[in-house]
Amino acid sequence: MPFIPHTEDELRAMLAVIGVDGVEALFDEIPADLKAGEMAALPAGVGEAALSRLMSVRAQQDSGALCFIGAGAYQHHIPAVVWDIASRGEYYTAYTPYQAEASQGTLQLLYEYQTMIAGLMDMEVANASLYDGASSLAEEVLMAVRANRATKSRRILMPRTVHPNYHKVVDTIVRHQGITVEVRDYQGDSACIEVAEWQDEAGDLAAVVIPFPNFFGALEDVDALVNWAHARRALVIAVVNPLAMSLLKPPGQWGDNGADIVCGEGQPLGIPLSSGGPYFGFMCCRQALVRQMPGRIAGQTVDLEGRTGYTLTLQAREQHIRRSKATSNICTNQGLMVTTATIYMALQGHAGLQSIAAACHANTRALLAQLSAIEGVRAVFTGPYFHEVVICLPVPATEVLAGLAAQGVLGGYDLRSDYPELGNAMLVCATEICSSADLDTYAQALQRVLQAHPALSS
């Protein structure tokens, strides 16, 4: 049943009382050139039955295909118990815990989540999540500029190997705030940043962004990069895959003193692909920077009778109602996604996460070996990687991906639009759910596509 708060008669009566001809007059302070105008390209509305049918057809398009895409959103096994618990009413519909006395369960869960994420990253403090990985990186850039008292610089160094979508979100959020994000290229063979190429970098820096693994799946020399940044009095912002951190060195142990701020996308922790979300971003930092951390923080305390209790802490009220003076204007904790991630991490434990990460890496190695055995297919980079690699094809990746999709295989991510210098390259990923039969299916499908391509079959 549609929600219609006011009838047309009621609207006219209210407008008459305030002496306004129409609703549009209430927004006359908005310049005409900023208004979108008529949305003529929108299709006509449909009824509930037609909409349900349309969404059912689209959902079926996502089923049955083998997925090897990755590129920031990963298909992992999610034990049934995770969403059985997360979809209980007390979790599924829980609202923001403004009133601590009525929200102890939600606050305890957030506290447990923060403890797990901080432990996984080997950092001192974590918040109760942000919208997604991209916006969490943008918030960290703002936070680093505020928090770095060693310099007044508003320059940020960010490698091209940070996810392209993250670059776009950061640019959108910070470009009008006097912050300069300077992008630095990767080294051609390893797909990583070479610290030696940064030695002549002039001028003060507020922060340096380090992806680990980077967008190509490659593993940066994080120790050298962190020590270089700290020697320049710059803060270090780590952008990481949380699952990989159960197997690789966590940011708190990078270099001599560890990263200063850590963020990333939480989707690998029990969140399904769901045709694009919702997901959630996580953020950690050193204790010294906690008062500059955006988002919510749940803390543990005791009441007057010595009983354990939980509450939101270090949160000024203007965080929620005075936007111009807020540390951040992000005021959601993506509660359901965080609930799911907490259940997932508690169920798997650290050993379980390590086992999953190791299986992802092993499957990717096996996939690369099979694909590289096909004539004309090779790995582009030579350095170590986690569970994604870039392969080069003898024909355009767009055409290859279309041919694979026709055989029920989502073969990877075409890199041409973001990294045209790589030519016919695509990013491929394998996770723990891939069986040896799945890898064989992919390799055989790719072989057929290449053999049938006009440029290769003549």
3-state helix vs strand vs coil in the chain, percent to 5: 45, 15, 45
Q: Is residue 43 part of a domain?
A: no
Same domain, 271 and 356: no
Same domain, 302 and 334: yes
Question: Among 325, 343, 361, which residue terminates a domain?
Answer: 343
Q: Is residue 309 part of a domain?
A: yes
Distance separating alpha carbons of residues 301 and 107, to the nearest angstrom? 11
Distance separating alpha carbons of residues 404 and 452, to the nearest angstrom? 12
What per-residue confidence (pLDDT) applies to 423?
A: 95
Same domain, 245 and 180: yes
Q: Rounded to the nearest 10 degrees, how much is the dihedral formed by the CA atoms of 168, 173, 176, 182?
A: -50
Question: Among 343, 366, 389, which residue terminates a domain?
Answer: 343
Q: Is-contact 82 270, C-beta < 8 A? A: yes
What per-residue confidence (pLDDT) applies to 411?
A: 96
Distance separating alpha carbons of residues 104 and 445, to the nearest angstrom? 53
Same domain, 326 and 355: no
Question: Among 323, 343, 363, which residue terminates a domain?
Answer: 343
Q: Is residue 432 part of a domain?
A: yes
Same domain, 218 and 330: yes
What per-residue confidence (pLDDT) applies to 6?
A: 85
Same domain, 173 and 245: yes
Same domain, 244 and 124: yes
What per-residue confidence (pLDDT) applies to 1?
A: 47
CA 453, chain centre distance (Å) = 35
| Residue-number span of the structural domain to which 429 is assigned | 66-73+350-457
Tokens of 63: 């089923």
Q: Under 8 Å CB-to-CB from 148, ≥6 apart: which residues?
A: 206, 207, 233, 234, 235
Q: Is residue 149 part of a domain?
A: yes
Report yes or no on whether pTM surpasses 0.75: yes
Distance separating alpha carbons of residues 292 and 207, to the nearest angstrom? 15
Give residue for tokens 């999540």: 129
Same domain, 130 and 166: yes
Q: Is-contact 170 158, C-beta < 8 A? A: yes
Q: Is residue 279 part of a domain?
A: yes
Same domain, 262 and 160: yes
Among 263, 347, 319, smallest CA distance to 86 is for: 347
What per-residue confidence (pLDDT) applies to 75?
A: 95
Q: Is residue 49 part of a domain?
A: no
- Parts of the chain with a pLDDT under 70: 1-3, 315-326, 329-333, 458
What per-residue confidence (pLDDT) applies to 94?
A: 73
Give residue for tokens 């942000």: 130
The CATH number for 286's domain is 3.40.640.10
Q: How far is CA 143 from CA 179, 209, 235, 261, in A?
A: 12, 13, 10, 9
Q: Is-contact 356 364, C-beta < 8 A? A: no
What per-residue confidence (pLDDT) applies to 331?
A: 58
Q: Rounded to the nearest 10 degrees, how much is the dihedral formed by the CA atoms of 408, 358, 339, 166?
A: -70
- Residue 291 CB neighbour total at 10 angstroms: 11
Distance separating alpha carbons of residues 365 and 204, to the nearest angstrom? 41
Distance separating alpha carbons of residues 177 and 173, to the nearest angstrom? 8
Q: Is-contact 450 380, C-beta < 8 A? A: no
What per-residue confidence (pLDDT) applies to 329?
A: 61
What per-residue confidence (pLDDT) applies to 399?
A: 96
The CATH number for 435's domain is 3.90.1150.10
Using the CB atoms, write b or e for 230-251: b if 16+ within 10 Å.
bebebbbbbbbbbbbbbbbebb
What per-residue confidence (pLDDT) applies to 325?
A: 63
Q: Is residue 20 part of a domain?
A: no
Same domain, 196 and 251: yes
Helix (H, G, I), strand (E, B) or coil at 409: strand
Q: For the chain, how many structural domains are there in total?
A: 2
Same domain, 233 and 312: yes
Burial class from Cβ neighbours inside 10 Å (0-12, 13-18, 19+) for residue 115 reads: middle
Helix (H, G, I), strand (E, B) or coil at 238: strand
Same domain, 318 and 337: yes
Residue type, 334: Q
